[in-house]
Structure 1
Amino acid sequence: MSLETVAEKGLVLLGCGKMGGAMLAGWLKGGLPPSSVWVLDPHPSDWLKGTGVHLNDGLPDSPAVAIVAVKPQMMGEALPGLRALGNSTTVFLSIAAGTPISAFEAAFGAQSPIIRGMPNTPAAVGRGITAIVGNPHVGEAGMDLAEALLSAVGQVARIETEDQMDAVTGVSGSGPAYVFHLIETLAAAGVAQGLPEDLAMQLAKATVAGAGALAEGTDETPTQLRINVTSPNGTTQAALNVLMDADSGFPALLPRAVEAATKRSKELANG
């Protein structure tokens, strides 16, 4: 199944908030005709109204894909609107956190092709990463289609089993918040050392963004990159002695943070 098939048969988007809107913008920019898109959203934004898509205007008979992009607490009210598409060739792609594939099989029918995805918020600027996993009815063509669609907002990674999704949530789904907090605290630390607030924040944002881009844009590992900028007995080494402390530094804190997020993801999935 290709993007040309999506243009021909149609795409349904249930929910067009920040994440759904970012994806829709990417698809339209990539050439998907607005006439091939049906959006169901009770509170459409002015931007959405101006895209030319079918808005709250029924559904096509057998769309190539139906994407669930509503918040988990809205599932009960929103999912029945797509039930007529179940147990057919339409591929359902969910990007709703904490909702397992089994819940969609119950809502749409056990024979429905269903893919569960976990994107993260950098998708809003085309720099996200989404992990995906499908049920046995999806097939390789359906997974390829999901990957092609989600590539509009960043990278896509396939995981082997759905139970890995909780750990994905702990690392990349919730991960941007960890980085934002790093920026906050790094800037505050600069202020504590005498920098003006605006300068400290500018330095912190650019440092984190630049380091991330460098880590992605080189073949060297993050470990080697760290070694490259750490002179023996220099300023960076003095800081890393604190951050790499086994009891109070990143090696102790980050595993606890990811474990807490993973545990909470499991709790949400189990109701």
Structure 2
Amino acid sequence: MGKIIAIANQKGGVGKTTTAVNLSAALGVLEKKVLLIDADPQANATSGLGIDLDNLKIGTYQLLEHTQKAEDAIISTNSPNLEIIPAHIDLVAIEIELVDQENREYMLKEATSHLKEKYDYIIIDCAPSLGLLTLNALTASDSVIIPIQCEYFALEGLGKLLNTIKSVQKIHNAQLDFEGLLLTMYDSRLRLSNQVVEEVEKHFEDMVFKTVIQRNVRLSEAPSYGESIIKYDASSKGANNYLSLAEEIIKKNN
């Protein structure tokens, strides 16, 4: 039985999609069967894996609308053992369309829960907001990874996100667990980066992953080639970081 992990933070630019794509690819390289669900209207996880957005017919939008089966939306990627349910800009409209629906927070769960039998890990890349899309992702998930960038406003908004997760646990998904907090964009030369790491570890202790994702030019180049960091440059710091994170998650879930 697989595990569904949401990658969520309402702040943009914290390395959420980078983590969703590269963690998924790293788990695939480590011989786990992985499905990535792009639940962000920006569709960066989809284009970041080289999928042509212009020719997409079925994606997360149709799943949430319940007009298509999840199996019909799944497409393979150029990364080993990794498939994706893509997103498209039309996903922007879903929050408005679902507003009057009964059980609107459970649409993604209903559409995807049976897929756990086919995959070891299902990773959901959430939108940078705490709206209905993210709520659907958290309700459908077993656990959540929160990326935090090692920069000045790192902890701003974290309390709000933790409160959202607590209310999802209380109302929609009692089984939702914390997979961990992931420190991203770390630069060992900056005093600020080191201060953020210290502060997060002091506050959250065991909730923080041992793996820290370092700032790496190759990481930001990879999506423009439609490749994960592991396919783009397997020897880079970024690739090593995400393989180390994947190993940490596999070990934790064994």
What band does the TM-score fall into relative to the shorter chain? Answer: 0.3 to 0.5
Structure with higher Rg: it is 1
Give TM-score, length-normalised by structure 2. Answer: 0.36
TM-score by length of 1: 0.34
Q: Which has the higher contact order (CA 8 A, sep 6+)?
A: 2
Select the structure that is richer in helix.
1
